[in-house]
Amino acid sequence: MSKNYSNEDKYWEYDEIENNYKLHFIRFYEDEIIAIMFQNEPDEDDASLWADYMLENVEIDEPELLIAETIEEAKAEVEERIVDFVQEQVEYLRSWIHKFKSTDEGVNHE
């Protein structure tokens, strides 16, 4: 397996056995694989790139079709989608907190 270090905490690795790219991220101390990018079988007419995400507290049931034309574009697209997924989670949690706090306003706790 060959590693492509673009950052100490985030890097892509090509897995020659499984023929896919794995995005590693070290959030705290443990190296986690948070996405796997792969192509359809080489003998198929359509060589589309797909991504499977393994993000904590984010449910994505099926692999996502990528619209990139190159591996490098696909890697960038995967990283952008991860930021989008996490940002959506942050917005959901902020909304949850706001609603939770607003239920206390005007309530008399006797």
Q: DSSP labels for the chain?
A: -EEEESSSSEEEEEETTTTEEEEEEESSSSEEEEEEEEES-TTSS---EEEEE--TT----S-EE---SSHHHHHHHHHHHHHHHHHHHHHHHHHHHHHHHHTTTT----
pLDDT digits (tens, 9 = 90+) for 54-96: 988 777 888 999 999 899 999 999 999 999 999 999 999 999 9
pLDDT at 48: 87
Asked if 24 contacts 32 with a C-beta cutoff of 8 angstroms, the reply is: yes
CA distance 36 to 23: 6
pLDDT at 80: 95
pLDDT at 58: 76
Output the CA torsion sign for 91, 93, 98, 103.
Answer: positive
pLDDT at 110: 56
Quickly state the pLDDT bin for 106 (edges 50, 70, 90). Answer: low
Question: Does residue 30 surpass a pLDDT of 80?
Answer: yes
Predicted TM-score (pTM) above 0.95: no
